[in-house]
Chains A and B, each alone.
Chain A
Amino acid sequence: MEDKKDFDISNLTLEELIELYNVIVSFQNFLEESKMDESEAGNE
């Protein structure tokens, strides 16, 4: 899937806009939690 540099959110309803924000924040949290500690990883 391509990244969107220019995107249009003007067609979203008010509820969808808030949902969009929440989805993004929730994914950001997921990403933060998914990070791994390199020092704990085994050697090749």
Chain B
Amino acid sequence: MNNFLEFINNDIETKKTTLQSMPTNNKTNVKKYNAKIESIEKKYDYYKDAVLKYINAKSESFECGTSKKDDNKQKEQLEEYKRILKILNPSNTYVEKLGFDSLFYEIHNYASFTFEDINNSIGKLVDIFKKARVNLTAEDFKYTYFVYKYMSEFLKDNSNLENLNTIFEKIYWYNPNIIEHIELNFRKLIVKYQKSLECYLNVEKKKIVSTNKFEDYEDFFKEYQKLYNEIEKANSESIGDIIEMAKNNDIDINNYFPDSKFRITVYSTLTINEIDYGDPESVNKLLDTLRRLKNNVIEYSNYLKFKPLFDDFKNTYEKVAGVEANNQALKKVEKEIANKEAKLESINKKIFGKSGFSLFGKKPESTKNLKLEQVNIAKELYTLYYEQEKLKFENKIINMKKESSIAISDVLKLYYSYDYFKREEIQKAFALKEYNEINDMCYEFDKFAANPNNIIVNGIEAFNNVDVANIIYNKYRLENINLEENDLDEDSLEVVKNKIDFMLRINAIENSKSSIEKIWFIVQNEKINAKEAKSE
């Protein structure tokens, strides 16, 4: 007998015949018949166990292990590179580079946070000054009487949440905008200590340049790109990942066999003119084109995802005022801020001169009125500061427009550099309300903006209507890829990506120690084990 499979097939036939020929007309014969079945079952349990053991061992020998991923050291280095890029970023100011704007956004949206979170953010703001050797004291927080009272407690060595909460409770009912006014005070302080903060930044920059041995931002950006691509490569789909996907039913390995209908269809519809899949040169050329197309498809799908933001940017800034008008508006706001802050200061002198530091005891009526007046002025200042920031940001855009046309890549860089306005714009463009939703979207945006390999966005003008799909479609038609225009519709992009992944996986399998058959076998073994576990 050639092999055991043949033996089993014949044996089963024989045993079936034997059983069929056994009499079962009475209890004794049925007993004998059942006993025969049990003896056969025993034998077949033994066979099955042995076969299972063998299949398991063989399948295990085909496993490739997962690829080397989650290299934390590299990822940490990439995060450090991002921090460095932020510091070296030529587009933003020391406010953004030092992370003030991100913290201001949190404080600005204090309703989405706990009391503890807000205090942590205030602590982080104080720490940034500390790094720049500016040790803030209670004296720095005489913006309003209430801010002074709260921050005096906050800056105490033995300050704790409980004490802060007690004083916050008291202040809040007099001045519900206290947190906004703390933000204002910090905004004033970053102007007051601008020199120290910029000096600290310069020292940091020098340190970075000497440690990393590069010449300028562009030079460092190349290093960042290199590391980014190394991590991308290490995280790209490996043969181990393909096996895992097949085991988890994320892909159907049956589609990958050369004679599968699916594979034949993909091969025959992928290119405009048929290529010789037996010729390595033709296949490599096709794969190279597909890899580029995949990157473009991912980039394009990111572009579509953030299109509401780009559209809103276009609508808001297409007809923005000229430099002069904007500068005048900025000067006007700055003058108003200066006037109102001078007024605040003069009231401060009166309050602190008269009442000392006990806030809630009996005070002369005039002091009470002064405090209320302060709260009202601070409220106006809050709006003015926002206007000032907005005008500065607009100025940036006006200047960019003046220098050259603005591409989508510039919009990405702009919002990547200005965290506060990015968050605000995302909130507006996507009509988001929940802080976590905004945060998630910002994370996605930053991921897109920080990709050094973006190409398409460099050519899309922000203030023109460009048919990006058509550009991609034409490019790849020229490279013999059978793309249809509707393949690049938002809903169809995933299909194109899946088709490319399918082709790339076939190549990965064929160039590995594994094979489609071996992966199929691993999958079958997985199914068998699941079935066996269920029947136990």
Contact = CB atoms under 8 A, between A and B. Distances in A.
Interface of A: 1, 3-4, 7-12, 14-21, 23-25, 27-28, 30-32, 34-38, 41-44
A11 B41 contact: no
Taking chain B's interface residues, is the majority helix, strand, or loop, or is none over half, making it mixed?
helix
A40 to B, nearest CB: 8
Nearest to A17: B55
Interface in B61-104: none
B137 interface: no
Interface in B2-56: 3-5, 7-12, 14-16, 19, 24-31, 33-34, 37, 40-41, 43-45, 47-48, 50-52, 54-55
A14 B26 contact: no
B7 A4 contact: yes
A23 B80 CA distance: 59
A41 B26 contact: yes
Contacts of A43: 26-27
A24 B44 contact: yes
B520 A14 contact: yes
B33 A36 contact: yes
Interface string B459-501: 0000000000000000000000000000000000000000000
A38 B27 contact: yes
A35 B27 CA distance: 13
Given A17-B55, A24-B48, A35 B37 contact: yes
B133 interface: no
Given A4-B4, A14-B518, A21-B528, A44 B51 contact: no
B221 interface: no
Contact of A3 (B12, B34, B43, B517): B43
Given A9-B3, A14-B520, A36-B33, 10 more contacts: A1-B7, A7-B7, A17-B54, A17-B58, A21-B52, A23-B8, A27-B44, A38-B27, A41-B26, A44-B27
A20 B51 contact: yes
B30 A16 contact: no
B37 A1 contact: no
A24 B8 contact: yes
Contacts of A3: 43
> How extensive is the interface on chain B, given as a class?
35 or more
Contacts of B521: 14, 17-18
Contact of B3 (A15, A16, A18, A25): A16
Contacts of B4: 4, 7-9, 12, 20
B41 A28 contact: yes
Nearest to A28: B44
Contacts, number: 101
Contacts of A34: 19, 37
A3 B12 CA distance: 11
11 contacts: A1-B14, A3-B43, A8-B4, A12-B3, A14-B521, A17-B54, A18-B55, A24-B48, A31-B41, A31-B44, A37-B30
Contacts of B58: 14, 17
B55 A1 contact: no
A36 B24 contact: yes
Nearest to B535: A25
Interface string B209-223: 000000000000000
A31 to B, nearest CB: 5
A9 B424 CA distance: 67
Contacts of B9: 23
Contacts of A10: 54
A12 B43 CA distance: 20
Given A18-B524, A21-B52, A44 B26 contact: yes
Interface in B501-536: 517-518, 520-521, 524, 528
Contacts of A38: 27, 30-31, 34
B526 to A, nearest CB: 12
Contact of B48 (A16, A21, A37): A21
A14 to B, nearest CB: 4
Contacts of A25: 48
A20 B3 CA distance: 11
A17 B51 contact: yes
A32 B521 CA distance: 28
Contacts of B5: 9, 12, 16, 19-20, 23
B3 A42 contact: no
Contacts of A7: 4, 7, 47, 50
A3 B52 CA distance: 18
Contacts of B518: 14
Contacts of B34: 35-36, 38
Most buried by B among A8, A35, A38: A38
Nearest to A19: B5
A41 to B, nearest CB: 4
A9 B54 contact: yes
